[in-house]
Amino acid sequence: ESKKNWVLMVTAQSPTNIAVIKYWGKRDETLILPVNDSISVTLDPEHLCTTTTVAVSPSFNKDLMWLNGKEFSLAGARYQRCLSEIRGRASDFEDEEKGICIKKGDWEKLNVHIASYNNFPTAAGLASSAAGFACLVFALAKLMNVKEDCGTLSAIARQGSGSACRSLYGGFVKWDMGKDLSGNDSVAVQLADEAHWDDLVIIIAVVSSRQKETSSTAGMRDSVETSPLLSYRSKEVVPKRIVQMEEAIKTRDFPTFSKLACTDSNQFHAVCLDTRPPIFYMNDTSHRIISYMEKWNRFEVTPQVAYTFDAGPNAVLIAPNRKVATLLLQKLLFYFPPTPDTELNSYVIGDKS
């Protein structure tokens, strides 16, 4: 008779990713299939990353999860989908030394314990579900000896949170929207690895640490239902921009990269304004940062910096190299001094890799 006191455990780490061509809008809410392709850059794992340990043992009597040390419900449909997709693909596992033998079908009967930590303050408005679901799916797949490739794992992570599929890879990543109703071809692909353009430096200026008022999921649902600009964007604008952005990344063409990233961020926020009721993710400080960066770029012969804003007021600023990043940081500290009394009260600085 097999022993009951063993625990099998895997720990994984995933960084978050920042979209430079944005995902906004779903064509299928359950499978999380987007209305357009998107492109992102995955951050260095030292910054804004999730670490997740998953374990199974015959002594665990139910599935449990802890997020930053506090118990967290796994009842949500997105967690359940990820768990069952992975369990359904599990294969035999044997460790003779430890006397562990798990047959393919046995994984369904074993309960899993999940402990997940973010190395950034969850309340900082930077808490992205991207790193979390990418990490969970990857760790579970390793634990349960799933033999699928990264593309298939990205399609599973996608069902946890759309942007999570892009965090399965480092470097520059494209989420292909796919054509199938099944979602099997709505996967992430790596465009270039982390070494390809490692001069880039990403600086995140935390404008507000408050939680956003409109969740991405609810916001994009409203946009799909009410924004004529979103349907124009997804059909007419993004397909061309994706081609141009892929080329800019391939050739490390920073001026084009900057123009596309800034324009796409602004169009995403225009879609938010075009939504009924309108969604305001950026605030006055965000707008001041944009004006400042635009002036700086216009003053120089070529763009010095790219900016992009997600579903919140925080600025993601991308400099082509460390020299410009240092200058950018000096300017930020001067024009937006980090004092606890103003809204812009801290910076998180991350190297891209």
Residues that bind ligand 2P0 in the complex, under the rule CB under 6 A = 19, 22-24, 32, 38, 129, 161-163, 216-217, 310-311
Tell the smallest beta-carbon distance from residue 150 to ligand 2P0 (Å). 18
Which is nearer to ligand 2P0, 89 or 166 (by Cβ)?
166
Q: What is the DSSP string of 169-207?
A: SSSEEEE---S-SS-TT--EEEEE-TTTTTT-EEEEEE-
Closest CA to 25 of 167, 177, 129, 160: 177
Which is nearer to ligand 2P0, 163 or 353 (by Cβ)?
163
The number of helix segments (H) and strand segments (E) in the chain equals 9, 17
Contacting residues for 294 by C-beta, under 8 A, at least 6 apart: 262
Alpha helices in 88-237 (DSSP H): 129-143, 150-158, 216-226, 228-232
Which is nearer to ligand 2P0, 90 or 164 (by Cβ)?
164
Residue type, 351: D
Tell the smallest beta-carbon distance from residue 298 to ligand 2P0 (Å). 26
Number of neighbours of residue 16 by Cβ within 10 angstroms = 28
Residue with the closest Cβ to ligand 2P0?
A: 162
Tell the smallest beta-carbon distance from residue 75 to ligand 2P0 (Å). 17
Which is nearer to ligand 2P0, 37 or 110 (by Cβ)?
37
State the Cα–Cα distance between residues 12 and 137, nearest whole angstrom: 10
Which is nearer to ligand 2P0, 161 or 267 (by Cβ)?
161
Q: Are 206 and 218 in contact (CB under 8 A)?
A: no
Tell the smallest beta-carbon distance from residue 158 to ligand 2P0 (Å). 8
Q: Are 166 and 46 in contact (CB under 8 A)?
A: no
Which is nearer to ligand 2P0, 56 or 137 (by Cβ)?
137
Tell the smallest beta-carbon distance from residue 218 to ligand 2P0 (Å). 9
Task: Give the total residue count for the chain.
Answer: 353
Which is nearer to ligand 2P0, 287 or 295 (by Cβ)?
287
Tell the smallest beta-carbon distance from residue 267 to ligand 2P0 (Å). 11
Tell the smallest beta-carbon distance from residue 24 to ligand 2P0 (Å). 6
The single residue listed with the structure tokens 């492109």 is 39
